[in-house]
Amino acid sequence: MDSEREKMLNGELYDASDPDLVAARQRARERTATFNTTEPGETDRRERLIRELFGAVEGTVHVEPPFRCDYGEQIRVGDGFYANFDCVVLDVCPVEFGENCLLGPGVHVYTATHPLDPEERASGLESGRPVSIGDHVWIGGQAVINPGVTVGDGAVIGSGAVVTDDVSPNVVVQGNPAEVVREIE
């Protein structure tokens, strides 16, 4: 029988009150609390703490505090990753960022979701769907990336956009729900 963690990572309904998952979230909250109280000049310490929090970091990474996540260990970032102030990544499933991804302030990336049926939702079970962000993607401030979304290489997500569907490579999307407004040459 699959553990609650395995169900979570497989996108199945799982019980978030499972002690293993509660402990993992607590570890992430302790690590982000430490990260979020670093001093502005502590760039080496910040990078070390992010490398301890995230599941994988390739090359250089820069995250401005405050930053919040559920677990951290499902987050993978490519070289040149940058997240501005107040970003949130709810990583109950994998979240992958390619190389040279830029997140504006207040970007939220969600993998967590809940059943649509009210009785099932009231049971406390939840699930998730992975998010994948390609290389050279720029996500403007206050944008939201919803569960299960894939963003193609070179795409730009306009500030305040709510991305509910996959985004093709080399396009600009904006609005709620986000729609393509132009192609990038």
Taking alpha carbons only, the member of 36, 82, 35, 32 closest to residue 57 is: 82
**pLDDT per residue over 41-66, tens digit each?**
999 999 999 999 999 999 999 999 99
Taking alpha carbons only, the member of 96, 30, 32, 110 closest to residue 58 is: 96
Residue ranges of domains in the chain, CATH in brackets: 4-183 (2.160.10.10)
Share of the chain above pLDDT 70, in %: 100
Question: Which pTM was predicted?
Answer: 0.96
Amino acid identity, residue 126? Answer: E
Share of the chain above pLDDT 90, in %: 97
Q: Cis omega before residue 177 (within 30°)?
A: yes
156-157 and 171-174: which strand pairing? parallel
Specify the pLDDT at position 75: 98
| Tokens, residue 73 | 């260990």
Mean pLDDT, the chain, whole residue set: 97
Specify the pLDDT at position 87: 98
Residue 1 pLDDT > 90, yes or no? no
Residue 130 pLDDT > 80, yes or no? yes
What is the mean pLDDT of the segment spanning 160-167? 98
Mark whether 114 is an active-site residue. Answer: yes
Alpha helices in 125-171 (DSSP H): none
* Residue carrying structure tokens 């996959």: 166
Cβ atoms of 93 and 113 within 8 Å: the answer is no
**pLDDT per residue over 88-110, tens digit each?**
999 999 999 999 999 999 999 99
